[in-house]
Amino acid sequence: MKMVKADLLPCVRVGCQGWNYDDWITGAGVAPVFYPKGTRAADMLTVYARVFDTVEVDSTFYAVPSTQTLDGWNKRTPRSFTFSLKLPQVITHEWALRAGSLEELSLYCDRAQLLGEKLAVTLIQLPPHFILTPENATALRDFLERLPREMRFAVEFRNSDWLHKKVIDLLSKHNVAVALVEGQWIKREEMWRLAEEPAADFAYIRWMGERNLTRFREVQRAQDENLREWAKVIVNLCNRVSHVYAYFSNFYEGHAPASANKLKNLLGQDVTDAASLEDQPSLF
């Protein structure tokens, strides 16, 4: 069921958390899954970009991407495509945002900006053990001061104590968003409350799920009612922010492309299904 006309939500970009999944490749003699039969890993991003105009990249959590990697992403995607990148864990988890991470932060920002207009948001994903203490609050405050103003950042807290007005006001001062996450760490009602008064002029939303699935070829636990509620939140967000970036994990329903297309359909956006990808000219 479509909730709104597509032209009312031009600010919403919907995609997946990653694109390189072998389970998304259609096997011989079966109905289309996502990628056409025989798709190579090197071609997955190009095919993905036919369906979605944005992606969240997890690999940057483990290491700053090389210039060659960034150049490859640029070449395999259209000009209108965008990437959201996770900040490296050495900054968020090992240094816990302390001053010792400054060199790594500078390197990351220099590299990320090589994407130019294709750079969407950098996700600062903090661990559950990063709790609200005076020391951590000071570290966050000082860290925000170091962020380049020309880049977008969103912070994902995994401890609800951080959802304090003073913290939100601090983020707002720097135009840094609070990542709205459907997951196990903070109640969705808290997320929806935050969506009513965004900290930044853009919003960043993630759908997670229990990590007890081993295959990602199809929806295995439908979340249709949950998605309808989130679609309402997004419609309201569009009255408050200029852009919404929304990304699905395979663990949410079992198959992230299907989840993303469900949301796009609810928002009245055009949807490209797996069967139509099979009919398009081969890249290979």
Model pLDDT for residues 85-116, shown as the tens digit of each residue: 999 999 999 999 999 999 999 999 999 999 99
In a domain, 284, yes or no: no
| CA-wise closest residue to 244 among 198, 192, 187, 186 | 198
Segments in the chain below pLDDT 50: 1, 5-6, 282-284
Residue 181 identity (one-letter amino acid):
V
What strand order describes the sheet that includes 82-86?
177-178, 153-156, 119-125, 82-86, 54-57, 12-17, 243-248, 202-207, 180-182
DSSP structural state of residue 183: S
| 244 strand-pairing partners | 12, 203
Contact 168, 200 (CB under 8 A): no
The CA distance from 56 to 50, in Å, is: 16
In a domain, 124, yes or no: yes
In a domain, 70, yes or no: yes
Residue 234, CA distances (Å) to 12, 100, 122, 205 in order: 8, 37, 20, 9
The CA distance from 255 to 267, in Å, is: 19
Strand residues in 50-199 grouped as ranges (E): 54-57, 82-86, 119-125, 153-156, 177-178, 180-182
242 burial class (0-12, 13-18, 19+ CB within 10 angstroms)?
Answer: exposed
**What rounded mean pLDDT belongs to the chain?**
94
In a domain, 229, yes or no: yes
Strand residues in the chain grouped as ranges (E): 12-17, 54-57, 82-86, 119-125, 153-156, 177-178, 180-182, 202-207, 243-248
Domain CATH for 200: 3.20.20.410
In a domain, 120, yes or no: yes
| 154 strand-pairing partners | 123, 177
Q: Which residue has the tokens 């997320």?
A: 191
- Which domain covers residue 10, as residue numbers? 6-279
In a domain, 1, yes or no: no
The per-residue pLDDT for 10 is 66
The per-residue pLDDT for 7 is 52
Share of the chain above pLDDT 90, in %: 90
| 55 strand-pairing partners | 16, 83
Coil, helix or strand for 102? helix
Q: For the chain, what is the domain count?
A: 1
